[in-house]
Structure 1
Amino acid sequence: MKIDATIVDDYLKEVPSQNYSDSWIFSEIEEGHYLFEEPDKNLSSKVLEIRNSVYKEIQSFVPFNYEIWNELFPESEQRLSTISIQLVVGCPYPYEAMVREDADHREVIVFDLIRFTRYGWHRASEIVRAMLTHECVHILLHQDYPENRAAPYQEKMDFLLFDEGLAHFLSMDERINHYDWNSAESIARKKKSFRSFTEAFQERDENKQNILLKEACTGHFWDKFACIAGMFLWAAVYSVSGIHGVKRTYASGWKKFKKNMD
């Protein structure tokens, strides 16, 4: 993976923000909107620590749950070799880590290091490995299943369930077996996310659909109902059928994934 730290380095050099606020990134955070938040200059020392820590973590990246990862993406190192990671400032909350397409339709991983300051440099270094796992799943999955092939509203919801669900599942814990998927709290969250997804899936009002597509994968972690419902579906597949079940389900694709909720 290739690291582009131009924007965060400009910030650290106290280059005026207008020199980088017109980057394509800030027009791609949300479709049809330009979003840029003036970065706090008082956070520069914290951002520098995080920049250096994150840089090292990217260079030595090993994904969470490598055994599952390697079954799904056996040539991931080669496939990710040309991927760019942009280290930036200026993205508004809650956009701290994401994958977006640049002007040449290449998918780019974006990390906003101002947003990372809430974790502290040591915690940010730990979290970035989970975030890299998460965002690289999106990159690799989109290579196998292009996102733009999910066009109508319900297809977009199906795709989010599959795509975001897998990214959240593989990055939830360094070893997925360490997470308690069957605790009372987990079961309650699973039921809530399934209920929210089912209700959203049936929505017919176009304006409400646009709102639900955003709410499905942004906001508080446990409120991102498509992400969380999908995560629990992948966990169920793994619980019943192990790594090979996950591999078979992935090979079957996103159009058939929702049936696991029935």
Structure 2
Amino acid sequence: MLLGGPKAEGSLDTPMISNDMEEINQKIYKAFHDINSIFQGQFRILGADIHHSDQKQLLVLAMPFKITPNNVVQDEEIVSRDLKTDVRHPGVRSGYVIPGLIAFHFDVDLKRALASIGQVICASGKKYTLIGGMSGKNTDGGQMFEITNSGVKDPHPLYKFRLIYSFPNDPTHYFDNGCKFWQLNQNAQEKVQTETRKAGKLLFHLSGSIRKVYDALLAVMSKKSHCDAIELTLEGLKHIITFSDNCGHLSFVYNKLMDLKQSDSVDFAELLALCGLN
């Protein structure tokens, strides 16, 4: 069958990460607590995979105070906001939450936390000496961070991530552009969720690996916030192929889908039906 895939490793609800990464995650969480960081217990890392050095992950900061969001400007699907609050916090100035201040303080505490850890020796026997901090801007102006294993030659990032923010009285997860916070409007959010579910279903069928699908979709969406299911599938396949062995059948499918896209003859519902996924 053209769009056949190998036996699945898990279900779409249970993304897997490496044992080493889980151990490192716990070390980092504990280190933030040990240095008495203002961010201790307030963050979690999404989609971490130690093997994918180009992976851009999302680190959710669960801020401990309530906000009042104000619309600043809406540009098609993007809504920019100022977030007001009446609390005292290092990330707040004159009653407004300032993303640049939060990023600055997170950078300081991240460096302190990693320095306090020293060398990590995982159950696998692998050794990691962690360093990290700010590493330039994302395409929309949001601050990027990296954590690297300095104990190896030519180190690649173990984590490459940006911050997103949640608040206790607001269900929205906010991104930032360095100056203001932004979110997709409700219709755009629902569209992204729908298209991602469709692409994830097909990618899982093709690759048989939840971890690869999860990582691929995060990598694509960290670069492109607005993709339809076809583009997500193509870009996701490209990512999976890059980090897979024996992926000849995936390369074949990718080339076929590219041909169909270029001829403007891709019907995603038909693709799902062909795979028995409707």
Give the alignment's TM-score, normalised by structure 2.
0.28
Which structure: larger Rg? 2
Superposition TM-score, scaled by structure 1 size: 0.29
- Name the structure with the higher helix share: 1
